[in-house]
Amino acid sequence: DCVLSNWLQWTPCSATCGGGEQHSTRRVAVPSRGRGMPCSGALHKVKSCNEDPCPGDNPTDCTWGPWSAWSACTEQCGGGQHRKHRTIVLEPSNGGHPCTGGAAIAVSSCNEHECPHEVVQCVWSDWTPWTECKRLGRVV
């Protein structure tokens, strides 16, 4: 059966602050032969290190962009909805606060006044008779 070596010591962190990586590796010590079990498992692993902000790198909080204009109301009277949206213009960094979840879209009621009685409801008329179908001048 295949035998993997022990993991080597972690490498030094790639950064002294602000977030870096450390790596460790191992190798196939004895390859499988014949009907032996093949090796399973990773030969390389990575972990984060020194994640504290660097001196002088102040935390930056998430920043929302401006709101869009309100959309048109879904109803002319009797109550509808309209919406507005915004996007994140600056992601947080160095331990800054994330943007508030669910704050990208706002919905509000609109045109809640009662509809006048003169408002005409759409009503379908009866179907008209079928017309002849012609192809190359002939009725089909």
Q: What pLDDT, in 10s, does the model give residues 66-119?
A: 999 999 999 999 899 999 999 999 988 877 889 887 789 999 999 999 888 765
Q: Which residues pair with 28 in a beta bridge?
A: 4
pLDDT at 118: 65
pLDDT at 19 over 80: yes
- In degrees to the nearest 10, what's the CA dihedral of 101, 104, 105, 106? 80
Tell me the C-alpha distance between 77 and 81, whole Å: 11
DSSP 34: T
Contact 2, 43 (CB under 8 A): no
This prediction has a pTM of 0.44
pLDDT at 111: 93
